[in-house]
Amino acid sequence: MDNLRLSWLLEEAAALMEIKGENPFKVRAFQNGARIVAGLPRSFQEMLDDGELAQTSGIGKGLLGQIKDYAQSGSLNALDELRQEIPEGVAEFLHIPGVGPKMARTFYDKLGVTTVADLEDAARARKVRELKGLGGKTEMSLLRSIERMRQRSGRTSTAIARPLANEVKSLLESLSCVETCTIAGSLRRQSATVKDLDVLVVSDQPEQVIEVFVALPYVQEITGQGSTKASVVFKAGLNGDLRVLTAEQFACGLHYFTGSKAHNIRMRQIAKEQGYTLNEYSLTNTQTGQETPIGSESDLFRCLGLAYIEPELREDRGEIEAAQQGTLPQRLTVEHIQGDLHMHTVYSDGANTVAEMAEAARAMGHKYIAICDHSRSLKIANGMSVERLLRQRDEIRQVSKEMNFPILSGVECDILADGSLDYEDDLLAQLDIVVASIHSGFQQEEHQLTQRLIRAIEHPYVHIIGHPTGRMLGQREPYPVDMDAVIAAAKRQKKILEINATPERFDLNETYAAMCREQGVPVAINTDAHRTEQLRYVESGVAYARRAWLEPKHVANTWPLEDLLAYIGK
Ligand SMILES: [Zn+2]
Ligand SMILES: [Zn+2]
């Protein structure tokens, strides 16, 4: 049950190591470790005891030693040492877009600042521009970035929120007094980031449920406690709201607490027009005062003359009108997905072999996959030399034949600073599919980044642009890019843009994905899996795509392989 805490500590240690200037491979080992621990199927303690953790790929000796110590002492040695050297607030600097570990270190060493607020004061006092290697321009963009960070603060990526939600849900469900437990709110609507967890429980013993909820190990602070509800702040930094409902209240409560606010306002209007009063507990006839029994959300929509609206669509972006007219989008589901076109293996920074990834994908029901490991410039991710790329291509052909399962031999090719690609054309021509992505040089101006992407789109051997805006939720803002121009270029060149389903990314965002749909540019929902378990990201990727009203036909990897190959001209 302590997996999340351990994962956060590893993450913090990685951030502090970066600032300290430790070996980047060691930093990455901790970052990967944090992610692996958060996604373990059982408690790390159990897996440590029965030896399975030592067998988990990505958990090396050094990391395992740290975890063992943690299991015994409850603290992480590496982190304790780092905390002595670097004050807590300095790690926060890394969350400012454009500030890397070196710059964070300079701010601390030269300006003596240890909080973002102090750093901001220093920048306003024009002290940042006097630092060696930095100038007025950096100072201005630093201030802008701090401002933007403040606007979005308080939102947490689903990479953190979803595992926490799952643990809370399973703990509450294990209570005999709990009938059901559901997570509502923006997490149910599949927002890319969430501000709080809305936990709904059906029970006839609310006091008992509340007592357990506020005592959960993830709770940092109790901010409110009543007879049927409680509010807390979780250690992960997000708020949690618990509501205990009766079975009769549940359907209206689920709808209400799923939101969004804008959708709910419209729903109450619709109810009013039809002589009802709708609130979080019931649908009531305004004249007679009689409650209409509502057994499910579908019932509620039906009573108001609406087709069922998927949670992902409930944003008042036209879904209510569409539900009245019967023009809601066809529901895209994970069953429509035929393949996954972006995943990594041990050839670069993945944890599994070609055969292991293919077996796992086939077991999930995929009909084909593409393996796209990193290209040679991305040294930090063990990018492939020409020779290794060719060796991998041969291995892919062989595994594909042995398994009788189509595996496209591809690459995730770096788009270099000038928009050229990381390998020669004649090599790219020998591959089945090429995903092109930007992994460095984010500091360029908007027109440069836009041109870079467009040049890649115009390259005859590029088929898909990977994670087109480079955002890392909670860590890095998207780089500035003119997506209108990028989408127009993709349309001209008949190229595909990716929704990267890694929970920190969801990139394209829903606005751009909707623009692709309107413009007729196909989208691929790819997991970018670095280990077999991550192939499951496709589920949240599909749910996220529903927010953009994407239907199966808009998504290139719902197509049969022949159609996909025909589209990319193979
Ligand atoms: Zn990438
Ligand atoms: Zn990738």
Residue 333 clears pLDDT 80, i.e. is over it: yes
Please compute the mean of the pLDDT values over residues 26-39 and round it to a whole number: 89
Q: Are 70 and 53 in contact (CB under 8 A)?
A: no
Residue 1 clears pLDDT 60, i.e. is over it: no
Separation of CA 569 and ligand 2 centre (Å): 23
What SS3 state is found at 143? helix
Q: Which of 151-160, 401-410, 469-478, 554-563 has the lowest mean pLDDT?
A: 151-160
Reported CATH class of domain 156-247: alpha beta
pLDDT value of residue 89: 81
Residue closest to 256 by CA, chosen among 335, 188, 336, 190: 188
Report phi then psi at 204, rounded to 5.
Answer: -105, 10
Half-sphere exposure of 99 (CA within 13 A, CB side): 30
pLDDT above 70 as % of the chain: 99
Length of the chain: 570
Separation of CA 343 and ligand 2 centre (Å): 6
Separation of CA 123 and ligand 1 centre (Å): 33
Separation of CA 353 and ligand 1 centre (Å): 18
Separation of CA 484 and ligand 1 centre (Å): 22
Q: Which residues surround ligand 2, an ion (CB under 5 A)?
A: 412, 528
pLDDT value of residue 301: 98
Residue 66 clears pLDDT 70, i.e. is over it: yes
What stretch of H or E contains 356? helix 354-363
pLDDT value of residue 153: 61
pLDDT value of residue 87: 84
Separation of CA 151 and ligand 1 centre (Å): 27
Separation of CA 342 and ligand 2 centre (Å): 6
Instruction: Report how far residue 436's alpha carbon sits from residue 462's, in angstroms, rounded to the nearest whole number.
Output: 6
CB-based burial of residue 567 (10 Å sphere; 0-12 exposed, 13-18 middle, 19+ buried)?
Answer: middle
Separation of CA 534 and ligand 1 centre (Å): 14
Q: Are 257 and 280 in contact (CB under 8 A)?
A: yes
Ligand nearest to C-alpha 466: 1
Separation of CA 530 and ligand 2 centre (Å): 8
- Mean of all residue pLDDT scores within the chain: 93
Half-sphere exposure of 246 (CA within 13 A, CB side): 6
Structure tokens at 191: 């927002």
Residue 398 clears pLDDT 80, i.e. is over it: yes
Summarize pLDDT for 195-223 with one digit per residue, the tens. 899 999 999 999 999 999 999 988 888 99
Residue closest to 386 by CA, chosen among 417, 411, 369: 411
pLDDT value of residue 52: 92
Report phi then psi at 298, rounded to 5.
Answer: -60, -40
Residue 94 clears pLDDT 90, i.e. is over it: no
Residue 11 clears pLDDT 80, i.e. is over it: yes
Q: Are 556 and 564 in contact (CB under 8 A)?
A: yes
For the chain, the structural domain boundaries read 3-151, 156-247, 251-325, 334-567
Separation of CA 532 and ligand 2 centre (Å): 14
Question: What's domain 251-325's architecture?
Answer: 2-Layer Sandwich (3.30)
Separation of CA 411 and ligand 2 centre (Å): 9
Instruction: Report how far residue 399's alpha carbon sits from residue 436's, in angstroms, rounded to the nearest whole number.
Output: 24
Residue 325 clears pLDDT 90, i.e. is over it: yes
- Amino acid present at 445: E
Summarize pLDDT for 443-499 with one digit per residue, the tens. 788 999 999 999 999 999 999 999 999 998 877 788 889 999 999 999 999 999 999
Summarize pLDDT for 117-162 with one digit per residue, the tens. 899 999 999 999 999 888 888 898 899 888 777 666 667 889 889 9
CATH superfamily for 3-151 is DNA polymerase beta, N-terminal domain-like (1.10.150.110)
What SS3 state is found at 564? helix
pLDDT value of residue 388: 97
Separation of CA 530 and ligand 1 centre (Å): 10
> Between β-strands 196-202 and 180-183, what pairing exists: parallel, antiparallel or unpaired?
antiparallel
Strand partners, 523: 497, 555
- Amino acid present at 263: H
Instruction: Report how far residue 568's alpha carbon sits from residue 432's, in angstroms, rounded to the nearest whole number.
Output: 10
Assess if CATH 2.60.40.420 describes domain 334-567. Answer: no
What stretch of H or E contains 565? helix 561-567
Separation of CA 505 and ligand 1 centre (Å): 10
SS (H, E, C) 423-460: CCHHHHCCCCEEEEECCCCCCCCHHHHHHHHHHHHHCC
pTM of the model: 0.79
Provide the CA 225 distance to its chain's centre, in angstroms: 31
Summarize pLDDT for 256-281 with one digit per residue, the tens. 999 999 999 999 999 999 999 999 99
Separation of CA 434 and ligand 2 centre (Å): 11
Please compute the mean of the pLDDT values over residues 502-529 and round it to a whole number: 97
Please compute the mean of the pLDDT values over residues 85-106 and round it to a whole number: 83
Summarize pLDDT for 33-65 with one digit per residue, the tens. 998 898 888 889 999 999 999 998 889 999 999
Residue 375 clears pLDDT 60, i.e. is over it: yes
Instruction: Say which residue, 180 or 154, is predicted with more confidence.
Output: 180
Separation of CA 168 and ligand 1 centre (Å): 32
Instruction: Report how far residue 345's alpha carbon sits from residue 357's, in angstroms, rounded to the nearest whole number.
Output: 7
> Between β-strands 276-278 and 283-285, what pairing exists: parallel, antiparallel or unpaired?
antiparallel
Provide the CA 293 distance to its chain's centre, in angstroms: 38
Residue closest to 517 by CA, chosen among 478, 538, 546: 546
